[in-house]
Amino acid sequence: MAKVALVSSAGGHLTEILAIAQELAGEHDLFLCVTNYPAVRNMKLEEIPRIYYAPIFWREHDSWALLWLRQRIGVLVTMVLWLFTFARLFWKERPDFLITVGAEIAVPAYLVNRLFFRRPALYVESLARLHTPSLTGRLVSRLSNRVFVQWPAVLPYYGKKGEYHGRLI
């Protein structure tokens, strides 16, 4: 039984990663790391016994000054926080495989995996990407072993790593 790390941001990406989790449940030891948005805090899932929440720097505040900071440096600060979060989490869990569906949280997960652990990694391009790859997909495809796309039109962008197997949901 392999230990599989599932990494996702909240929202539609989480819906897609949960579809993958349903297919893998029972066969593998799964854990999930998701962005710490209020909508997903304290969620409980039968398929995934351990859920970790990646801290976010900017979403809890509304002031115009913090909004300005978020637009300028908040994403960078969050990426640095996530690098440390994934280093600590992967050291603790020791996953055999990494799967992500996307958004910005995938980038530090793949960087930590590539730099320190060298485990096989799969990136699943979002269902919302009908014609072109996402920025996250373009960045992490260089760090992943395989890339699954959900639309045939996106397949040529990923070269030999790209595979089309239909849609998740």
Average pLDDT over residues 84-92: 96
Q: Could you tell me the pLDDT band of residue 129, with boundaries at 50, 70 and 90?
A: confident
Task: List, in order of start, the domains of the chain with CATH numbers.
Answer: 3-164 (3.40.50.2000)
For 67-76, the pLDDT digits (tens) are 777 667 777 7
Backbone angles phi, psi at 89, to 5 degrees: -65, -45
For 43-61, the pLDDT digits (tens) are 888 889 999 999 876 555 5
Give me the residue label for tokens 């349903």. 22
pLDDT at 64: 67
For 11-49, the pLDDT digits (tens) are 889 999 999 999 999 899 999 999 988 778 878 888 899
pLDDT at 105: 92
- Tokens linked to 129: 């990407």
Q: Could you tell me the pLDDT band of residue 66, with boundaries at 50, 70 and 90?
A: low
User: What is the value of pTM for the model shown?
Assistant: 0.89
Distance CA 149, CA 96 (A): 22
3-state secondary structure of 62: coil
